[in-house]
Chain A
């Protein structure tokens, strides 16, 4: 790695930190500017009780002071504070609990999408205009155009109710199978189409023809040259795919009752659980920023022609 690359990476890390700081600051102030508070309920608590609760969680202090304390606590102690609504639980514990499941769901879905997508795409490209190519293209078009909540509901009805082969509840044994399939279908279909067109493009290049003319084996041409080079666009899709999986999992977790981070994120906003809103937002922001960074660096690794200037 040359010093230029090193500098680029450092610069990107600096920018990433800045982005996260901006996300924290904006979320913090917007969240407090929204009407309603964590102690608002259909059945009102007495004003004195409300004051006591606000004092307990430091919400009675001036907003800037609360902001300062919050930043200090996360930077120096990695302390996200207690949840205001789920009394007795720390934000970090709730997030850790949810992330265990969500990460498993997300990582496996991404892996399935990547592996299956690339294989199918390559296969379709090599069998261009044959029956298998057309079948793959029709199916992937369907998957790309079908939103995950419809796909999820469909799979739920078929596999969990009609055939009863998989559980409908994400927390049960094997309960993640349907959510993973639902979540991976769209990116898988997308990757398939991406790989196919990119592979077709590469297969038409002069150097492939040269290799063929030189008598290089078909396997070596496909795996050594064509596939590797056709993966560059696929890698650029890595960042958007992650964003899709993160946001898509909110929907999928709901359909299949998966105990992931998605629910905590959504309900914390409705219930004005300030520390929980901050915690989940920061975690998701860090995740997306880091993944984009990784995706950019990988891009360079796969394609040395790319210049970081």
Chain B
């Protein structure tokens, strides 16, 4: 009897395993042999919401689209390994011609031999159609606003036209320093009218017609997207990687498992609690790359933080609040946050415009910001922690009762963050720092979409925030704080703040007839941003952007914490890989050793 039962048991187990495993050698997962020289398996994130270049707003989606489409320009590495923007489908990246009305016209020629993956020619008309479509409100693309530099944006039609099959003419409202970079951004990539008329075109390989280095040859939803070299791509002979498999998963632990056993050659995420170990175990494979973004905490400008009976009102009260907020920014040790909590190689932030943004002379924008004898607006060196703290206490003493160790009449505040262990840990650190001087800050976490809505509505005192650049120009950090911006979470110029007149702006030294003393946010900041957007002299423009950041930081509403980094792991056999400052990763020129 025992034998029969044992036999049955073994049989049942074998049957069950056989039913779900069709493979005799499953060790290598999806790849038949461990990564042949012409094939690479990577995992960036879970299934992208869309692979339509106009609709995509995710970094992982942009990476895939950069492999599938070819715009007028692209990111590439020069001979020395530096990142550059070069012509792709355009013959060359031409200089613009300034028109009498200040607009600038660019005329591009489409390269001979540029074809879609189905063999049809890529025409200037395709670009015209794609741009009009991407910018249209009917499409409602997240990145539609990237066309705001083009003349006619916001009306029915952009000022872009196909003169003939080969010639594309586009007029910008004024000269834009980062125009070539925009041309390499997915939302500027061409799509064909007959292809996208089928709304589901970008969800299956059969209908996905593209013009880039690769085509999609397989797409198992939520599992893997397989791309193979596009023979019709105009530069197909330069592509060294024949096949890329993008595995779709967002579980960092699972990614590490697949990296460790050699199934995947690049993974774009690692679990925070394993960072230290992985860094030691895989010193060559563990990469911390710069990413242009800032993790910060923002205040609601409408939140009254003055003690009861302070006697301050109106403009005086707002000036006091700005001073208090700036002082509180000094209480935090950013080195502790990045080393003990973040652990991802982040860099303590001393400004809002992120590390990685450069001045026209190539120096870091954040290093020349703030006009202090240290870099930025807050001295984030380890030596300054104590003096910052003491300075903050002295400032706060002006407004609050201090019993020698604690402030006794600071109103209770709320800290809003979206549910995540990492955000919670940082919030708790801030809370503890404040508690040590008698300030109570309660923590409130909300699930992502609720959090976004609450923060946007301004229903908070202090909130966790973050911003990652869409293109390599400081303006993308600065124009989000104009009164009408959809990302103006601080609520500048809204509600009671609309009437607060304490801001000054003097641009006469830069040749502008703009001088405002004690103006409102709309009269100063909004005007400044508008001036920047119309400025054609690059040096002046950067000076204006520094002034915008000065004005922004003077409110104390932005408390920078750290600059983001992009942590990933890449097998050391992979050569020729590069990524750009926006976090897009490029596999087309990769080869695999061994």
In the complex, are the beta carbons of A116 and B13 less than 8 A apart?
yes
Chain B residues whose CB sits within 8 angstroms of the CB of A167 once the complex forms: 26-30, 258, 261, 263
Does any Cβ of B come within 8 Å of A77's Cβ?
Answer: no
Chain A: CB-nearest residue to B199: A88
User: How many angstroms from the CA of A48 to the CA of B554 in the assembled complex?
Assistant: 32
In the complex, are the beta carbons of A259 and B30 less than 8 A apart?
no
Chain B: CB-nearest residue to A49: B140
In the complex, are the beta carbons of B49 and A86 less than 8 A apart?
yes
Chain B residues whose CB sits within 8 angstroms of the CB of A254 once the complex forms: 251, 254
Give the contact-size bracket for chain B.
35 or more
Does any Cβ of A come within 8 Å of B19's Cβ?
Answer: yes
Does any Cβ of B come within 8 Å of A19's Cβ?
Answer: no
In the complex, are the beta carbons of B2 and A168 less than 8 A apart?
no
Binds A, one of B4-12, B324-332, B534-542: B4-12
Chain B residues whose CB sits within 8 angstroms of the CB of A259 once the complex forms: 220-223, 248
User: How many angstroms from the CA of A126 to the CA of B17 in the assembled complex?
Assistant: 27
Knowing A43-B487, A171-B223, A264-B222, say if A49 contacts B141 (CB, 8 Å): yes
Chain A residues whose CB sits within 8 angstroms of the CB of B263 once the complex forms: 167-169, 172
Does any Cβ of B come within 8 Å of A111's Cβ?
Answer: yes
Does any Cβ of A come within 8 Å of B315's Cβ?
Answer: no
- Which one of B8, B21, B261, B456 contacts A173 once the chains associate, using CB atoms below 8 Å? B21
B37 to chain A, nearest CB (A): 21
In the complex, are the beta carbons of B9 and A45 less than 8 A apart?
no
In the complex, are the beta carbons of B251 and A257 less than 8 A apart?
yes
User: How many angstroms from the CA of A256 to the CA of B48 in the assembled complex?
Assistant: 19
User: How many angstroms from the CA of A86 to the CA of B19 in the assembled complex?
Assistant: 32
Give the contact-size bracket for chain A.
35 or more
User: How many angstroms from the CA of A88 to the CA of B207 in the assembled complex?
Assistant: 12
Knowing A44-B487, A52-B140, say if A89 contacts B57 (CB, 8 Å): no
- Which one of A44, A53, A86, A177 contacts B17 once the chains associate, using CB atoms below 8 Å? A177
CB interface residues, B 537-568, toward A, < 8 Å? none
Interface centre among A48, A98, A171 (most CB of B within 10 A): A171
Does any Cβ of A come within 8 Å of B286's Cβ?
Answer: no
Interface centre among A47, A53, A176, A257 (most CB of B within 10 A): A257
Interface centre among A48, A50, A172, A222 (most CB of B within 10 A): A172
In the complex, are the beta carbons of A161 and B29 less than 8 A apart?
no
In the complex, are the beta carbons of A127 and B200 less than 8 A apart?
no
- Residues 7-49 of A, flagged 1 when their CB comes within 8 A of B and 0 if not, give 0000000000000000000000000001111011111111111
- Which one of B22, B203, B223 contacts A86 once the chains associate, using CB atoms below 8 Å? B203
CB interface residues, A 169-197, toward B, < 8 Å? 169-177, 180
Knowing A46-B145, A116-B12, A153-B253, say if A169 contacts B140 (CB, 8 Å): no
Provide a sorted-by-A list of 18 A–B residue pairs whose CB atoms are within 8 angstroms: A40-B456, A46-B145, A47-B486, A49-B140, A49-B141, A85-B49, A87-B49, A167-B26, A167-B29, A168-B254, A168-B257, A171-B220, A171-B224, A172-B29, A218-B1, A257-B247, A257-B254, A259-B221
Interface residues, chain B, with chain A CB atoms under 8 Å away: 1-2, 5-6, 8-9, 12-13, 16-17, 19-23, 26-30, 46-47, 49-50, 52, 55, 57, 137-145, 199-203, 220-224, 247-249, 251, 253-254, 257-258, 260-261, 263-264, 447-454, 456, 466, 470, 485-487
Interface residues, chain A, with chain B CB atoms under 8 Å away: 34-37, 39-50, 52-53, 56, 85-90, 94, 97-98, 104, 108, 111-112, 115-116, 119-120, 122-123, 126-127, 132, 153, 156-157, 160-161, 164-177, 180, 218-219, 222, 254-257, 259-260, 263-264, 267, 270-272
